[in-house]
Structure 1
Amino acid sequence: MLSISNLNFYFGSRALYEGANLHIKPKAKIGLIGANGTGKSTLLRLISGEYTPDGGNISKSGDCTIGFLNQDLLSYQTDDSILEVAMQAFGRQLELQKEIDQVLYKMETNYEDKDVDLLAKLQEEFERLDGYTIQSKTEEILEGLGFNTDDLNRPLRLFSGGWRMRVMLAKLLLQKPSLLLLDEPTNHLDLPSIEWVENYIHDYEGAIVVVSHDRYFLDRTIDHIAEVSGAKITLYPGNYSYYTEEKSLRNEIQKGAFENQQAQIRQTERFIERFKAKASKSRQVQSRVKALEKIDIIDDVIDEKAKVNFKFNFGTEPGRFILFLEDISKAYGEKVILKKTSATINRGDKIALIGANGKGKSTLLRVISGTEQIEGERRTGHNVIESFFAQHQLESLNVENTLIDELKATGTTKTEMELRSVLGCFLFSGEEVFKKIKVLSGGEKSRVALAKVLISEANFLLLDEPTNHLDMQSVNILIQALQQYEGTYVVVSHDRYFISNIANKIWYIEDHEIKEYPGSFDEYETWMASRPTNQSTAKAVVAKPKPELAPVEHKPVNQNTAKAIEKLENQIMELEQEIEQIENEMASVAADSKFDELKALESKRHAVQVKLEETTAEWELLIG
């Protein structure tokens, strides 16, 4: 259907593609992956004809139609309703409807046989093109993408960029091109909409090329992976999970071939060096020199699974509870978000806040941070130091700062070498740390902003969609960083792979209340699939053993109870410090072989430990 042969494309002096090849067959579903900056979005623009290759050829069959969803569509605005915008996909049907209306209007005052014939002809074509069903089809897709029925007649300009992107996606899906190009289609979708799109793409009759960093999405929608690396395109059969296995196997083979070739080169170079001065060996030496010049060098394998090691420094250890929300209510006019709901965040909680857009996830995150006006009571625990990451904070980066200076501006106590190490973990190496913020891409700015949050020495993090604009390698780095983080955090994200790796609790908003599932995201999905009211969700979940866990109902905490909890937490911290001090004394006397003193200290430590366990049990009973 479409063939890319010996493609060359240059961005300035840098080759994005050089001799690249890719063949797209009818009904193929291809996931296009690669690090940020390798040219994935550029390839889609080359295929769509928006860009012209510097060399090579992109050819398509005569019946190939192309539809392209790209991030530029975010800026599109109009006073037309979203239903009208999406229905623009049916250009011919709308044109026929207009002509039919004109003929009918004319026939009301001037009835002629030729008009009857024209009307019959127009209506026949209109029916053949399913013109009578285009509105119902449009409504079905828009509602599948998360719009309420009441939204359909509202002007497009009233919606945010993410919702406008959904309208553009709906229009594209209704056009049903034979080749569908999707650039990060899940970036602005919530979980229910992502699952709806997965099912739609799975059954789509045309070919699809999709750029996405959502591994779960790729696993459930595509049958080939096209990897962009080193200005080339390598095609792998299977979904993303199969690609990772196959890539690992290919890397192992390539690594072996590289090492064998390097050993052969070193051996040849030693022979040349040893015998280059001997006339009797000149012929063999020259033969080996020519062989080296002709050798096709095998590249070493680049390790893309970067292992990172963050050292988080907390200047202050928080108490046992981080935050109390009691009888919280929040509404915008008549739109109720939260109503008389309560929740508690304990030290060490790793919470993923998930759910459909419009349910109030970002509002709840602002409530937690204390930046949203509410009815009810919000109380923070002892020694809680908070840091907040959201996409709009990218704009607060000082564009004239270098990367290293931007991190220094946080007031961190880390040395420049330590800061360079942190930036290295976020894929900024060598002289790149002296680049100015203003020259960075959106994804690179996100990595800098995340690095600032992680070195802030905060013991409570709030992260709003932190994986947006990050490639897979950067998402993997963030996962590792959060897995090593010993503090507490709440994360809003629609990236299922991400939250399945970083969350030990799931929060969601249902019936205007905060609900908690006390387990991992995979366990939560299985539990949701088992609920009789969630049959549509069940289709998207692989069957797993049903977990024994069930959602936690948060209990309101009155003022007296809160004071008692805080008092107990202070006692627990003092007892823990006392045990640490006793253990340090025990280590000292043990080194001096003072066994009588050691025995007395052991007895004292045991008594304090018993007291600690009793106090902790009392605290757990109160927070119940």
Structure 2
Amino acid sequence: MIRLDNISKQNGHQLLFIEASMGVQKGEKVGLVGPNGAGKTTLFRMITGQEPPDDGIVAIDPGMRIGYFSQDVGEMSGQSAVAAVMDGVGPVSALAAEMATLEAAMVDPDQADQLDAIMERYGEVLERFQELDGYALEARAREVLAGLSFSQERMDGDVGLLSGGWKMRVALARILLMRPDAMLLDEPSNHLDLESLIWLEAFLKNYDGALLMTSHDRAFMNRIIGKVIEIDAGQLITYSGDLDFYDQQRALSEAQRQAQYERQQAMLAKEIKFIEKFKARASHAAQVQSRVKKLDKIERVEPPRRRQSVQFEFQSPPRSGEDVISLRGVHKGYGERPIYADLDFLVRRKERWAVLGANGAGKSTLLKLVAGDIKPDQGAVNIGASVKMGYFAQHSMDLLDGEETIFESLERSFPQAGQGALRTLAGCFGFSGDDVEKPCRVLSGGEKARLVMAKMLFDPPNLLVLDEPTNHLDMATKEMLVASLADFEGTMLFVSHDRHFLAALSNRVLELTPEGVHQYGGGYTEYVARTGQEAPGLHPGG
């Protein structure tokens, strides 16, 4: 169906692929993995024909329709979200737009003298719209957008007024509505809330075409894929099974290569020792010469490349008082829409609260109230004695000075820290060597998030307020963050759509629903067991 044979590809000075091969068959669901910059997006672009390989063959079955979702969504404006989604399927949305214009013209007194012509044209457009099953397509487009958490108002509003994250959802919905023979999805889980993520997971499980996808969300990918293709030092290595099986097989393969390498090193050392000992003795000249030739012919076993695993250890934060956050009788709304009415909420020392709720339920609003970014309309928000807060939100990344380098940014935040300590900190968050000299303006979203996180955690607060801290983070950094926060001795209040993060770190759940606020004494895993759902508002089983 999709086949890459002995492809090679160079990007500037970087060799991305060296005589690499892979295949995706009909109906297979495949996860594409590899470190940042390994060439995942380039691989997608070669499959879609946007970039040719330098050498080798990319073979696609004749007539196969491929839908490609990338992080570059392009310009969108001048039509509704529904129309933009239907545009991906063909001329249906243009016909729907013309029908709407003609319907308005029919009741316009200024155009009464043209009514016959308008009616005739309307009949033609309607007939073509029905031939293309337009009404059913619009219903399906609305169903997909609803799955991705669009309200009716947002579906029918101007797509140009949407934020970048919502435009991403429109671009994704367009591919899903196409139902192509194969889907290439580059980070589809970015910018999705938990409810949308769970809906997309179910959609992709039921999709009967071929799927090749990348995602930094391990739980999401693990539930969908049955095969892994890894980009490793220019090669494409295929593993059957999910990410857990891939991890096991990769570890086993590395252990075998390490053992093979060590055996060969021991043998080489023994031979070299013999040669060094007897090379000056004429009586052993033939043996020495024979062994030198033997060594020259041996193909050296390379040691397995060690994946850089970043570790960050918290310093112990200062102890806070027992009552860390207290909300009493809090009312908050935007315009006519109330978010909270008479909310009471108490967070005590060492509690780790995960805040769950559908879009618009007020998750980020709660964190902003606690951080002091916004004020309640009524009631009181109090932060306890000796509390030192660290607040991470998506806008935190916009506060970086674009002209400063990573190192200068850290140095300005911690002028008393030594260069060695700051370089170690940068390394823990994935900035090694010359990376620290990059100016902040050229950093990706993930790099900015890592820098902000590093600055927040170096001089540790005893209260962490985190709004989607894993957005933009790759799997390795996410694992490091989870491991580090598991040892954090302070208090946490956080919002996340990452189920691994939720399950690993929460010991309390605050659920925000239209019916009111519910508090659960156990963590996210216990919440799922008690409610039978992975997110508020979902039916049992998702």
Using the size of structure 2 for normalisation, the TM-score is 0.89
Query: Counterparts of 2:193 and 2:27 in 1: how far apart (Å)?
Result: 26
Displacement of 1:141: 0.9
Query: Counterparts of 1:494 and 1:472 in 2: how far apart (Å)?
Result: 14
Determine the structure 1 residue equivalent to 2:449: 446
Determine the structure 2 residue equivalent to 1:33: 33
**Structure 1 residues 254 and 357, CA gap change in structure 2 (3 angstroms):** farther
Determine the structure 2 residue equivalent to 1:13: 13
What is the DSSP-based 3-state SS (H/G/I as helix, E as strand, rest coil) of the residue aligned with 1:17? strand
Deviations 1:318-356 (A, max 9, x none): 111111111111111122222211111111112222332
Determine the structure 2 residue equivalent to 1:85: 84
Determine the structure 2 residue equivalent to 1:580: none
Query: Counterparts of 2:456 and 2:21 in 1: how far apart (Å)?
Result: 41
Contact residue 353 and residue 494 of structure 2 kept, 8 A: yes
What is the DSSP-based 3-state SS (H/G/I as helix, E as strand, rest coil) of the residue aligned with 2:341? strand
Contact residue 225 and residue 236 of structure 1 kept, 8 A: yes
Contact residue 341 and residue 513 of structure 1 kept, 8 A: no
1:460 to 437, 445, 463: 463
Displacement of 1:445: 2.4
**Structure 1 residues 228 and 102, CA gap change in structure 2 (3 angstroms):** same
Which AA in structure 2 matches 1:181? L
Counterpart check, 1:319 vs 2:321 = yes
**Structure 1 residues 97 and 264, CA gap change in structure 2 (3 angstroms):** same
Which AA in structure 1 matches 2:160? R
**Structure 1 residues 133 and 529, CA gap change in structure 2 (3 angstroms):** same
**Structure 1 residues 89 and 285, CA gap change in structure 2 (3 angstroms):** same
2:177 to 174, 177, 186: 174
Determine the structure 1 residue equivalent to 2:340: 338
What is the DSSP-based 3-state SS (H/G/I as helix, E as strand, rest coil) of the residue aligned with 1:91? coil
**Structure 1 residues 407 and 95, CA gap change in structure 2 (3 angstroms):** closer
Displacement of 1:171: 1.0
Query: Counterparts of 1:67 and 1:198 in 2: how far apart (Å)?
Result: 17
What is the DSSP-based 3-state SS (H/G/I as helix, E as strand, rest coil) of the residue aligned with 1:8? strand
Q: Relative contact order (C-alpha < 8 Å, sep 6+): which is higher?
A: 2
What is the DSSP-based 3-state SS (H/G/I as helix, E as strand, rest coil) of the residue aligned with 2:248? helix
2:212 to 185, 209, 213: 209
Which AA in structure 2 matches 1:193? S
Contact residue 84 and residue 93 of structure 2 kept, 8 A: no
Deviations 1:297-328 (A, max 9, x none): 433334448362514143x4211111111111
Deviations 1:463-492 (A, max 9, x none): 221111211111011111111211112222
Determine the structure 2 residue equivalent to 1:68: 68
**Structure 1 residues 243 and 326, CA gap change in structure 2 (3 angstroms):** same
Query: Counterparts of 1:240 and 1:460 in 2: how far apart (Å)?
Result: 33
Contact residue 412 and residue 456 of structure 1 kept, 8 A: no
Counterpart check, 1:242 vs 2:241 = no
**Structure 1 residues 260 and 77, CA gap change in structure 2 (3 angstroms):** same
Instruction: Calculate percent identity across the aligned residue pairs.
Output: 35
**Structure 1 residues 28 and 285, CA gap change in structure 2 (3 angstroms):** farther
Query: Counterparts of 2:232 and 2:202 in 1: how far apart (Å)?
Result: 29
Deviations 1:224-267 (A, max 9, x none): 11112212121111112222222222222222222222222322
Deviates more, 1:338-347 or 1:356-365: 356-365
Using the size of structure 1 for normalisation, the TM-score is 0.78
Contact residue 326 and residue 342 of structure 1 kept, 8 A: yes
Displacement of 1:201: 0.5
Determine the structure 1 residue equivalent to 2:366: 364
What is the DSSP-based 3-state SS (H/G/I as helix, E as strand, rest coil) of the residue aligned with 2:237? strand
Counterpart check, 1:493 vs 2:492 = no
Which AA in structure 2 matches 1:184? E
Which AA in structure 1 matches 2:76? Q
**Structure 1 residues 25 and 378, CA gap change in structure 2 (3 angstroms):** same
Which AA in structure 2 matches 1:262? Q
Query: Counterparts of 1:244 and 1:234 in 2: how far apart (Å)?
Result: 13
Determine the structure 2 residue equivalent to 1:611: none
RMSD of aligned residue pairs (Cα, Å): 3.2
Give the alignment of 1:248-397 within 5 angstroms.
Answer: 248-304=251-307, 306=309, 308-314=311-317, 316-375=318-377, 376-397=379-400
Contact residue 36 and residue 443 of structure 1 kept, 8 A: no
Contact residue 87 and residue 94 of structure 2 kept, 8 A: no
Which AA in structure 1 matches 2:412? A
Deviations 1:69-124 (A, max 9, x none): 11111x53202011111111331545777999999999967999xx9xx979x95x
Determine the structure 2 residue equivalent to 1:53: 53
Query: Counterparts of 1:278 and 1:197 in 2: how far apart (Å)?
Result: 74
Which AA in structure 2 matches 1:60? I
Deviations 1:388-432 (A, max 9, x none): 122322232234444333223223754333333322322333454
Instruction: Pick the structure with greater CA Rg.
Output: 1
What is the DSSP-based 3-state SS (H/G/I as helix, E as strand, rest coil) of the residue aligned with 2:330? strand
Query: Counterparts of 2:101 and 2:393 in 1: how far apart (Å)?
Result: 52
**Structure 1 residues 41 and 287, CA gap change in structure 2 (3 angstroms):** farther
Which AA in structure 2 matches 1:517? Y
**Structure 1 residues 281 and 514, CA gap change in structure 2 (3 angstroms):** farther
Equivalent residues, number: 531
Displacement of 1:381: 0.6
Query: Counterparts of 2:29 and 2:337 in 1: how far apart (Å)?
Result: 40
Deviations 1:143-170 (A, max 9, x none): 1111122322111012211111111111
What is the DSSP-based 3-state SS (H/G/I as helix, E as strand, rest coil) of the residue aligned with 1:68? strand
Contact residue 190 and residue 355 of structure 1 kept, 8 A: no
1:516 to 512, 516, 519: 519
Give the alignment of 1:462-477 within 5 angstroms.
Answer: 462-477=465-480
Contact residue 482 and residue 502 of structure 1 kept, 8 A: yes
Query: Counterparts of 1:507 and 1:432 in 2: how far apart (Å)?
Result: 39
Contact residue 86 and residue 92 of structure 2 kept, 8 A: no
Name whichever structure is richer in helix by fraction.
1
What is the DSSP-based 3-state SS (H/G/I as helix, E as strand, rest coil) of the residue aligned with 1:358? coil
Q: Which runs of 5+ in 2 are unaligned?
A: 107-113
What is the DSSP-based 3-state SS (H/G/I as helix, E as strand, rest coil) of the residue aligned with 2:72? helix
